[in-house]
Every structure is written in structure tokens, then in C-alpha cells.
Structure 1
Amino acid sequence: MKTDDLIMMLSSGPDVRPAPRPLTASLLPLSAGLLACVVLMLVLLGVRSDLMQAAALPAFWLKVSFSLLLAWAGWLAAKRLAAPGARIAALPLYLGAPVAALWCIAAILLWQAGPEARTPLFWGATWRYCPLLIALLSMPLFIAALRVMRGLAPTRLRLAGAAAGFAAGATAALVYCLHCPEMSPVFVGFWYLLGMLIPTALGALIGPRVLAW
């Protein structure tokens, strides 16, 4: 080793960066949270009785795809925000593209529908409790995500908490698709999204407190 290299190594001090956690240390709590979310849905709500018939309709898969894409984007955001210095410039595009696409479809449906059909397309029959049920189902996964992130090294704590909440909310919406009778993209584009934003707001609120390290 050259003298200059030795001096540089000694002057830099010890490496105090947190050691990376094993993959299983993250997957186990998240898997348990997802399992609890599914069990909670089955116990409290149950699977819709006409699921097989609904699965034959494009509107059902549009709802599933919307929730799945937002869940993927949410977990990607949570993963990047759990580490300092990660690039997040593309995250708004990943999160916003599915919403913008579904809103365009919803706008076309509203434009084509008659005035008497537009109100049912938006309100459906379950708007009073749909967002609250999604938020409720997200709680086990939300708690697991916060636990995993706390063991990493997030620096933007409010954004990290919001990302954990959104990822959990979007995943809960995906699970909720197995129960929800609503099929209108107009309904899904507003009320499902509202259900995802409830744990997002909660995560942004408590992130600086629970994720501090």
C-alpha cells in the first residue's frame, strides 16, 4: 500500500454506514403483513360471490391493473426512499401514469354516458365505506413496511412514511378487488385512490417520528 493511500484511509475514519440487512429480514415482515391483509379481507368482507363472472369482464382487469401498477410504483418508491441518496426523479411519473391513464378512460366514459348515468358511474353503491375499507386493510402491511424501513437508513422521513403508506394502500386496494362489486373506472379512479391516500397521509404525518434513526 502506498503511503498516500494509507494516510487517506486513516484520515477518513471508520466506516459507520449501517450494514445491509439480509433480504429475508425485509421479506418476512412484508409477507406477514400481506397475509394479514388477505386474512382480514376474507374474515371481515369475503370474496364476492360472482368473482368468476366478474373476472370475465375487461372492467375487472382494468381495476386490478390500476391497483397493481400503483402497488408496484408504491413499493419502488418505498424501496428507494428507504436508502439515502437514491434517485427518485422518475417516481412521480411511475405513480402518476396509471392515475392519468385511468382518469382519461373515466373521462371518456362520462362523456359517452347520458346525464342520468353519470351519477351512478361516480358514486356507485359503496362510496361511503370503500376508501375506509381499503385503508383498514392496509394497516397490517403499513405497519410491516414502517418496521422494515426503520431498520434501513431513510433520510427523507416524511416522504418515506408517505411511500410506505401508499404502497400498503395500493396493495390493500388490489386485495379489496376480490370483494368489491364496483366495476366503473370512474368509481375506481376516485374512491380507490382516496383509499390509498388515507394511509399515505398517515405515513407522511408519522414518518418523521417512527422512522427516525
Structure 2
Amino acid sequence: MKTDDLIRALAADTRPERPLWGRLMLGLLPSLAVAVAVVWAGLGFRADLATALVTPVSAARIVLTGALGIVAMRLALLLARPEGWGRARFWPLAVVGGVALGLLVWAFVTIPPEGRQMAVVGKTMTTCLVMIPLMAILPVTSILYALRHGATTVPALAGAVAGLAGGGMAAAIYALHCTEDSPLFYVTWYGLAILGVTLVASLAGARLLRW
């Protein structure tokens, strides 16, 4: 090998890899675009979406699930690093959960007893429990792919946080279609759907993110 060729080869070997954030965005943004397209073309946005977005109790669905997705995504990127476990802070997730629980309690207190069962069950429970996990597949896969380029010391936990992130983002997008505005409905069923995604992602992370 000539000297010039050797120098070029060494330079290529030392070229820094794409940061995890860049890898994540490269896959995550298209996957979220696909999820939006699925809702728009397959389910349809709710007819009164503009009004729902400025109605606090309705808009809270998108705000809470979107916040969960963003907070969990940042935490997943932190856990991708060997020192991430020692630097991780989980209180933002607790804040999101606390607000959701507060909305649930508020709705339970303010809705008359005879209306609570209908508010919880709603009319689209099955659609919610099916569509959110399906829409979360691509975002969660994108996050796990990015985490594979890290060096996490807690693969199951990193996978679980990836599930929270992807599930939260999928739920926020699904909320553009859903017309169930009671926190008794969306905190319960969105929460269960996201929990299911989280459990599956934790199992996947334990296997895929192990050194």
C-alpha cells in the first residue's frame, strides 16, 4: 500500500461517527411522518380539531403524550451512554405522570356518577388500544436503532424508555383523530396502550442493546 493510501485509510478510520441525536432524527422524523399520514389517510383528523386544540381538557391529550415522548426520548439518548445511568433524572417523567393522574382524579370528581362508566369506556376504546401500538412500531424501532450505536449499561431500561418515547409520540398523533375528550378515557386507555408498547420495547432492548 502506498503512503498516501495508508494515510487516507487511517483518516477514514478516525472519522467521527454521526452523533446519536443525528442518527435518531434520521429515522424518527420519517417514522412520525408515516404515523401522521396513517391518521390522516386511514382514520381522518377529527372535524373539530381546531377547536379541540384550544380547549384545555382536550388539548391536554396531545400536550401530555407529546411531553412524555420528548422527555423519554432525551432520557433514552442519555441512557445510551455508559455513564448515562448515573446522570439520568427521572423526575420529568414523574411530573408528566402526576399531571395525568391529577386530570384523572379531577374528571372522576367532576363527572356525575351515572356518567363515569361511559366516560371511561367511550366509543373507541378498541381502536385506541390497537392503533397506538401499531403507530408506535416505527418510532420505537428508530429509537432502538439509534441506541444500538451507543453503549448502554441498562439495556432493558433503555428499551423501556424508548417504548415510552415512541408510544407517547404515537399517542399524540393518534389524538389528532380521537374525539374522546374525557381524561377518564384518554388517561386510562392511552396509558395502557403506551404501557404495552413500553413492556415490549423493554424486552426488545434487553436483547438488542446488550453489549
1:147-191 CA distance string (max 9 Å, x none): 111112122110111111110000001111110111011111111
Contact residue 99 and residue 189 of structure 1 kept, 8 A: no
- Spell out the pairing of 1:38-53 with structure 2 (5 A cutoff): 38-53=36-51
Report the Cα distance in structure 1 between the residues aligned to 2:153 and 2:53, rounded to whole angstroms.
Answer: 42
The one-letter code sitting in structure 2 at the alignment partner of 1:57 is: T
1:85-104 CA distance string (max 9 Å, x none): 1145521x211222222222
1:90 maps to 2:86? no
Aligned residues: CA RMSD:
1.9
Report the Cα distance in structure 1 between the residues aligned to 2:112 and 2:129, rounded to whole angstroms.
Answer: 27
Count of paired positions:
195
How far 1:20 moved relative to its partner? 5.2
How far 1:27 moved relative to its partner? 1.7
1:47-74 CA distance string (max 9 Å, x none): 1122123234222211111112211221
The one-letter code sitting in structure 2 at the alignment partner of 1:151 is: H
Number of the residue aligned with 1:118: 116
Report the Cα distance in structure 2 between the residues aligned to 1:35 and 1:56, rounded to whole angstroms.
Answer: 23
Contact residue 157 and residue 211 of structure 1 kept, 8 A: yes
Number of the residue aligned with 2:185: 187
Question: Structure 1: which 5+ runs fail to align?
Answer: 1-18
How far 1:196 moved relative to its partner? 1.1
Number of the residue aligned with 2:161: 163
Question: Structure 2: which 5+ runs fail to align?
Answer: 1-15
How far 1:44 moved relative to its partner? 2.3
Q: TM-score, normalised by structure 2?
A: 0.85
1:21 maps to 2:18? yes
Contact residue 21 and residue 152 of structure 1 kept, 8 A: no
Report the Cα distance in structure 2 between the residues aligned to 1:55 and 1:30, rounded to whole angstroms.
Answer: 24
Contact residue 78 and residue 88 of structure 2 kept, 8 A: no
Structure 1, 197-206 or 22-31: larger mean CA deviation: 22-31
Contact residue 160 and residue 204 of structure 1 kept, 8 A: yes
Report the Cα distance in structure 2 between the residues aligned to 1:71 and 1:150, rounded to whole angstroms.
Answer: 19
Structure 1, 79-88 or 130-139: larger mean CA deviation: 79-88
- Spell out the pairing of 1:47-62 with structure 2 (5 A cutoff): 47-62=45-60
How far 1:128 moved relative to its partner? 2.0
1:102 maps to 2:122? no
Structure 1, 43-52 or 77-86: larger mean CA deviation: 43-52
1:77 maps to 2:65? no
Number of the residue aligned with 2:128: 130
Contact residue 84 and residue 154 of structure 1 kept, 8 A: yes
* Cα pair distance change 1:25/1:111, threshold 3 Å: closer
Contact residue 107 and residue 182 of structure 2 kept, 8 A: no
Number of the residue aligned with 1:10: none
* Cα pair distance change 1:26/1:109, threshold 3 Å: closer
The one-letter code sitting in structure 1 at the alignment partner of 2:18 is: R
How far 1:113 moved relative to its partner? 2.2
Contact residue 77 and residue 88 of structure 1 kept, 8 A: no
The structure in which a higher percent of residues are helix is 2
